[in-house]
Each structure stands twice: as structure tokens, then as C-alpha cells.
Amino acid sequence: MGISDDIKPKKYRRPFSQTEKLLIVEQQIEKEKEKVANDLFEDQKESDFFDGTPIGKRSEKQRKEPRKPEKEAEVPKKTKRSRSVPILIFIVFVLTGFLIWQNFSKLKNYLDFKFKIENDQKLSEIIESTTPNETSYTSEQSQNTQTATPAQPVEITIDNSNINISVLNGSGVKNSAKIAADKLTTAGFTIKYTGNARVFTYQKTYIYHKTGGEEKANLVKENLIDYDCEVVLSEVIVGATYDIVVVIGKT
């Protein structure tokens, strides 16, 4: 049998055609491409890429150490002191307002007294400024009397009803201005106004007149014999409305 096998004719194999050879080559090329692509795009670990470098060592250390939980940002809490400051300020304002309300009358009296003192000073300045005018007026009148040629005295009568008078209470005594005004009205004078002066510190009774109105002031003085009167020239106090201003004092 062995000899028969050896002498048995071999099976004939048809040679590959040119087209088949090209197909086989293309298949081999495709297999090589797939192998190269798999090698290129194979997933690599970070430790393999940075292995042996400082970055790789640090990454390895971080992986070994347990990760610490992040702390939440602390929100500042309001202290009791910061909350109590507005309350204290409010309490201070309330107490201040209460004290002012309790002492309102005292404050008003104090301010009125201060205003009265200032007016007293101003009035005293006015009176002092008018006193020299009265003196100069009297001296000029006496000089004119001495140098003038003696003439027969001419008697001039003044109608009391033509004298407009303002009577003011300068003593603070109730109805003192009204009592004096009634006396002058009985004497025939015209009373235009009766009221209170700005201050009640007058001791004497002052009769203020304009320039040339001294005789009228003396007529008023003659009808106020119960008062300690002083005649004073003052254009400022009398003004344009009245001829005479009488300020009743305490005496």
C-alpha cells in the first residue's frame, strides 16, 4: 500500500489568477491597518504615560492619600452686641424726646427770659442814645432864648384831641396801661393804641416824643401827676404813626 500511495498521482491545484492574488494582498493590508489602529488608539492609563516623571509620582501620591472633605464656607454669625446697638440708639432717642417734653415749659421760660434780657439791653441802648439828643436840644433852646431879641410872649394853645398817643405797659402790673390811657382820654387826648411793651422792666414812666413835640409831651406829663415821668426825645421809638409814646413803669 505504501508504494501505491507513493505512486498515486497528486491532486492538481489550479494556480491563482492575478485578480485573486490582488484580493489576498488587499486583505492582508486591511488586517495590518486594523492592527496598527488598535495599537494607536488603545486606551492608556495616565500612570503609563507619565510614568517616571514628577507628575506621575505626584498623581500616584494623590491616589494613595485619602481625599479630605472640603470645608463649607463659614457664614459670620451676628453677635448680640451688633443687634443691641440699634436698640440702644432707639432707647436714647426716646428718652431724650421724653425729657424735652417733660421740661418744655422750663425751656420756654428760659428762652423767654433770655429774649427779655436782650430786649432790655437794646431798649436801654436806645434810651441812652436819645438822652444826649435831649441835652443838646435843651442847650440849643437855652442859647436861642438868650440870644434872641426879647419879644412879647405869644400864647399858643394846643388841642389835646390832635395828639395821638400810644400807651404801653412796661411794668408788668395788670391793667396799668389801661388805667393811664383812661386818664389821658378823660383829659381829651386821642389814644390810638393800648398794649404791652416788649419787656416789663421799666421803673419810671417814659414819655417819648418827636422833634418839636416837647410841649405835647409836657401836656401829657401834666395829666399823669401820679407817675414818676421822664420826657425823652426819640424819633425811633415814636415812629411815624404816633405823636407820643407813653411807657408806664412801676413808679
Q: List, for residues 142-162, the tens digit of each pLDDT value.
A: 555 555 555 565 556 788 888
- Helices and strands, counts by H and E, the chain: 9, 5
**Mean pLDDT along residues 39-51:** 54
Other CB atoms within 10 A of residue 151 CB:
6
Other Cβ atoms closer than 10 A to 65: 8
Contact yes or no for 124/201 (Cβ under 8 A): no
In angstroms, rounded to a whole number, what is the distance separating the alpha carbons of residues 191 and 160?
A: 11
Beta strands in the chain (DSSP E): 164-169, 190-196, 205-209, 229-233, 244-248
Residue 9 located in a structural domain = no
Task: Quick: pLDDT tens for 186-203.
Answer: 999 999 999 999 999 999
Mean pLDDT of the chain: 74
Residue 176's pLDDT band, with cuts at 50, 70 and 90, is: very high
Rounded Cα distance, 244 and 158, in Å: 14
User: Domain of 185: which CATH number?
Assistant: 3.30.70.2390
The domain containing residue 187 runs over which residues?
Answer: 160-248
Cell triple for residue 107? Answer: 425751656
- 18, part of any domain: no
Q: What is the mean pLDDT of residues 81-92?
A: 81
Number of domains in the chain: 1
Query: Is 27 contained in some domain?
Result: no
Asked if residue 64 belongs to a domain, the reply is no
Q: What is the pLDDT of residue 207?
A: 93
Contact 249, 205 (CB under 8 A): yes
Task: Say if 44 falls within a structural domain.
Answer: no
Global confidence as pTM: 0.40
Residue 177: inside a domain: yes
% pLDDT > 70, the chain: 56
Angstrom distance (rounded) from CA 185 to CA 201:
25
Q: Are 122 and 201 in contact (CB under 8 A)?
A: no
Mean pLDDT over 80-93 rounds to: 80
Q: What whole-number distance in Å separates Cα of residue 181 and Cα of residue 159?
A: 17
Best CA proximity match to 195, nearest among 207, 213, 181: 181
Does some domain include residue 204? yes
Residue 50 CA to residue 22 CA, distance in Å, equals 44
Length of the chain as a residue count: 251
Type of residue found at 231: V
